[in-house]
Structure 1
Amino acid sequence: MRELAQRYAEQMLIYVRSEDEAALAAIAGIGCEIVASDLPIEEIAGLQEEAVLAVSRLHWTESPEVVVRRSSVCLAELLIAYSVAYRDRAELVARERRRIAQHDRRLAALGQLVGGVAHELNNLLQPIRGMAELGLRDVPPSETLHTYFAIVFSSAEQAACIVRGILGYLRQEAPQLRPLAIAGALEKSVDFARIGIVPGLRLRLEIVDRDAVVIGDESELTQVVLNLVQNAGRAMQGRGDIVVRLERAPAAMRPAGAAVRITVGDDGPGMEAAVAAQAFEPFFTTRPPGEGTGLGLAIVREIVRAWGGEVSLDTAPGRGTRVTIALPVHHEDVGRA
């Protein structure tokens, strides 16, 4: 503000002395700067007072009436520029608010559509899962038909996980979070993920911390693991190693208290920085149309944050990808083996 007042006084002195139009243009710029700086219009009174005092200290060859008139022209120019800039800014803000409101309405409509489709898909998956489960019970494991039923059941389960993730992301269904022994739950999730991987992939689980209990949901953990394993498998084009590791997180990752870290890493091609920066954004995908929704990592982040955790991505071209999930420890389950 001090610098603006000094510049305004200097330009007023120039205009009072010579009626230089360039001085008025500079004063108009000061009016725009006042708006851009979010200064209230009342500040103009202070600028005018200081400038008039500076003018009054000098000896003028012009008559007092001319000095007052030219000083008033400077104030009028400042007020006009301020008013025009304020109006333009208000119109810009109003347009942006309308744009955001329209975008929000479109997202709400899309959410309702996606939610409705997800519910319908869930209704169709129930009999598929049920019939496949009956087939698994009725057909001996030695028969080829048993394997077919297992594939159908696994695919239906994975589809159901995706539907639950979409509904959870849209906040239409929220699971009841409860204490979860993370090591045992992760073992089950990885075992389930193994069913759907292709023969060229190798999925390995490393558990370093077996005692931690977190607040979460086992079905959501399965969904997180499935999403990350499937992403890794696609990135490696069906060949390579995927390692899921559970260990105690370093203190720097969770300064507020103890945490565990789940890492899903692959030895695939990795991502460019521009792609990694958008990886968790909803509907962002590098896959061709029809081969991906772009919701996988967005759902993973939504689930992890709902559990009070954080998720991060470490990747670069040529050195694979590591997705790290840090979850706060609820307590230590010292009774577990």
Structure 2
Amino acid sequence: MPELRPVTEIRTVACIGAGVIGAGWAAYFLSRGLRVRAWDPAPDAGEKLRRVVDAAWPALTELGLADGADPGAIELLPTVAEAVEGADFVQESAPEDLALKRSLLAELAAATAADVVVASSTSGFPMTDMATDAADPGRLVVGHPFNPPYLIPLVEVVGGEKTEAWVASRAADFYRHIGKSVIEMDRELPGFIANRLQEAIWREALHMVAAGEATPEEIDRSITDGPGLRWPVHGPCLTFHLAGGQGGMAHMLDHFGPSLKAPWTRLEAPELTPELRDDMVAGAEVSAGGRPMAELVAERDRAVIAVRRAVDAARAAGGAGA
């Protein structure tokens, strides 16, 4: 294990890949007063990166900027090697292509110092599978965010079979230091935790649309005006604990346990037929109501900020009254 500086001394982050996720990470790092060195092979990467940062900055400002936060403290470099030069932490956010991830992570591991963590934003690949080409896979770890990374606080951290223990701990400590909510997973799990749960709902939604049982708009409203209102506070497990009344989870399971075998769910993914695809696209357009993507993004950001503030206030009030 190399000699490590405190995570508070991490001042420069390399963002490798500047698409939606990578640019979102860049905006968040900038809001925390960090400098960002970015790389992306797309010819219009600089323009897209600037557009995402500018669009995210009002929401980040409303949430509260760290001292020294500067949306201009970012530089797009022509090569990976130049982008990671002088970086204290690396966040890789390349497309979900396993061969690409393997090659890029191997290059990053070779180009960075022994005390620099290289984290991948992958949404599904385990690090054990992505690190196969790296001569030194010990500093490679998953740091999986939720979109958009500048707004949603969750990051799931998990190493691969050859990831050194200090690497996962340091990544988690760094993310917490910059204000993220971190789950340190003790084992690799396909799809991680949050994506597994999200995917279950998504598959059920596709089945219901394919069977003509519900429209995309009805499915969205069933969550936004139903259980989705409870989940920012308690999550699905604690919600069911409350459903058991004074008996809590034990009473809920004893009472509703038999219904777990009821044929409600169809967890196998349905075939994505042209008809189902067209129905989902048309349904999403109905839900969007003709509004442009930028307007929808702004609406989402305002609402998430309001929800986060309301939940934080409720928790603070509960703690004060305890």
Same fold (TM over 0.5): no
Q: Point out the structure with max Rg over C-alpha.
A: 1
TM-score (norm 2): 0.21
Q: Normalized per residue, which structure has more helix?
A: 1
TM-score (norm 1): 0.20
